[in-house]
Amino acid sequence: MQIIQTINELKNIIALNKEKTIGFVPTMGYLHEGHLALLNKARIDNDFVVASIFVNPAQFGQNEDLDRYPRDIERDTQLATDAGVDILFHPSASEMYPFESGITINVGDLSTKLCGGSRPGHFDGVLKVITKLFNLVQPTNAYFGQKDAQQLAIIETFVNAYNFPVQIVRIPTVREPDGLAKSSRNVFLSTQERDEAVHLYQALQLAKITWEKTTDLTVAIAKGKEHIESNTSGKVDYLEALSYPDLQNVTGETKDILFATAVFFEKARLIDNILT
Q: Which of 35, 90, 122, 199 is flagged as catalytic? A: 35
DSSP 3-state assignment of 168?
A: strand
Quick check: is 275 in a domain?
no
> Same domain for 198 and 236?
yes
CATH of the domain at 40: 3.40.50.620
How many residues would you count in the chain?
276
How far is residue 255's CA from residue 276's CA, in Å, rounded to a whole number? 8
124 and 59 share a domain?
yes
Query: Can you give the pLDDT at residue 157?
Result: 97
Give the residue ranges of the annotated binding site for (R)-pantoate.
59, 151
- Per residue in 19-69, pLDDT (tens digit) is 999 999 999 999 999 999 999 999 999 999 999 999 999 999 877 888 889
- Check whether residue 23 and residue 159 sit in a common domain: yes
Number of domains comprising the chain:
2
Establish whether 35 is a catalytic residue. yes
pLDDT in tens, 199-213: 999 999 999 999 999
Write out the binding residues: 28-35, 59, 145-148, 151, 174, 182-185
Q: Tell whether 24 is covered by a domain.
A: yes
Q: How far apart are CA 32 and CA 18, in angstroms?
A: 29
Min mean pLDDT across 4-8, 60-64, 226-230, 240-244 is at 60-64
Of 141, 171, 201, which residue sits at a domain end? 171
Looking at every residue in the chain, the average pLDDT score rounds to 96
Question: What's the number of CA atoms in the CB half-sphere (13 Å) around residue 9?
Answer: 13
Best CA proximity match to 133, nearest among 161, 170, 158: 158
In which band, very low, low, confident or very high, does the pLDDT at 156 lie, cut at 50, 70 and 90? Answer: very high
Domain assignment of residue 238, given as a range:
184-270
Binding residues for ATP: 28-35, 145-148, 174, 182-185
DSSP state string for 248-276: ----TT---EEEEEEEE-SS-EEEEEEE-
According to the model, what pLDDT value does residue 255 have? 94
pLDDT in tens, 163-198: 999 999 999 999 999 999 999 999 999 999 999 999
Residues 150 and 217 in one domain: no
**Of the candidates 120, 141, 171, which is a domain's last residue?**
171
Band (122; pLDDT cuts 50, 70, 90): very high
What span, in angstroms and rounded, lies between the C-alpha atoms of 147 and 69? 18
What are the distances in angstroms from CA 195 to CA 191, 200, 233? Answer: 6, 11, 11
Same domain, 81 and 214: no
In a domain, 65, yes or no: yes
